[in-house]
Amino acid sequence: MEMALAEKGSAPRNGLTEVAAATNGLHTILAKEWEVLASRAATSRLDRQTWSAGQINVVAEVGAPGVLVPTHRGIDSTRLELSIEGKHPSLLMKIIQPDQHRYIDAATSFDAQRKAAKLGCAPNILASDAVRGIALIEFLNGWRTACVDDLRKADVMDAVLGLKRRIHSGPRLLRSWSVFDRIRILQAEIGRNKAGTPNELAALLDDVFRIERMVEAAGVDTVPAHADGLASNILIDPNGRVQLVDFDEARNIDPYFEFGILMNEAFGSEEEMLPALEMFEGRARPKSLRRARLYAIADDLAWAMWGLVMDAVSARKDVEFFSYACWRLIRCRATLASVNLAPRAGWI
């Protein structure tokens, strides 16, 4: 089997002299396991006759570059679009970035996506190596990445929430988690790595841990969840169908955390969120919205802290981690200013 690696937008390189060099490049990415992964994928949903018809050419094109500002997309992993025997593209190869292994539990992520795929909510993972953070995934040809404007359409939001609720009713995931767990991990990393921190961080942490105590006092029930609010991790086909992708955040969580971060992505005011809340739980209860908004504040702080840590430790100096951290801090601070954190019975 031969594999060729080409940059996005360039012509496929099928010449034998070019294939060898490109194969070496892909071999480096996948260490010693890439042939095993490709072989496992061949026994799954691909055309077996094609795979058994002698020498096979697979062209791998680097997907769209990741960006953080103005939106978070494609930063946590490299994506290669694989074309098999001229069928472009046939598979997506996801390779988690080395500097993200500390935050992403690949085994949990891949298990969650497989479970979601069985529920009809996500493209399936055909083969994976959790140790190296590599997965071969069905490529949904003709589908596009959603944007925030899509989420503001009632039919799209209803479809997205429908998929998320289906996962909530599905099998439990491998790990449970809360955004406050992440904040404590990042707080320790900021201290160890002397990441540049704003003077207000200590006060923001105090407020967010107060939110944690409020949530715990009200009680928490967890469900399996995609646990991702980004529009860029939703795909839409020409007929308006949606699928969820990138399950790196997937855990058993409070469902109102997932709702809150999705609302934080799509809308700016509570009035805009109310119709979506009615879709989500059947009626728009004020305390549910307050709970979701408090989670969104904590999520903004968590991602701001992640940006500060990554700015300090990541070798990818072309990624605007610090700018992203500043943006999430600004939104965290602005939303905090609009809520009352005085504990009140039954408030959330």
pLDDT tens-digit map of 195-204: 667 888 999 9
Tokens (6 digits) for 42 = 């061949």
- What is the per-residue pLDDT for 132? 85
Tokens (6 digits) for 279 = 């879709």
How many other C-beta atoms lie within 10 A of the C-beta of residue 78? 16
Residue whose tokens read 């490109």: 22
In terms of Cα–Cα distance, which of 20, 2, 121, 9 is closest to 59?
2
| 2-139 shares its CATH topology with 145-336 | no
- What is the per-residue pLDDT for 35? 53
- What is the per-residue pLDDT for 46? 36
Q: What is the pLDDT of residues 17-66, one digit of tens each?
A: 333 333 344 444 444 445 555 554 444 443 322 332 233 445 555 555 55
CATH 3.90.1200.10 fits 145-336, yes or no: yes
Tokens (6 digits) for 213 = 């105590």
Domain boundaries, the chain: 2-139, 145-336
In the chain, what's the furthest Cα-to-Cα distance?
72
For 2-139, CATH gives 3.30.200.20
Rounded distance between C-alpha atoms, residue 176 and residue 254, angstroms: 10
Q: What is the pLDDT of residues 109-152, one digit of tens each?
A: 999 999 999 999 999 998 888 988 888 899 998 999 999 999 99
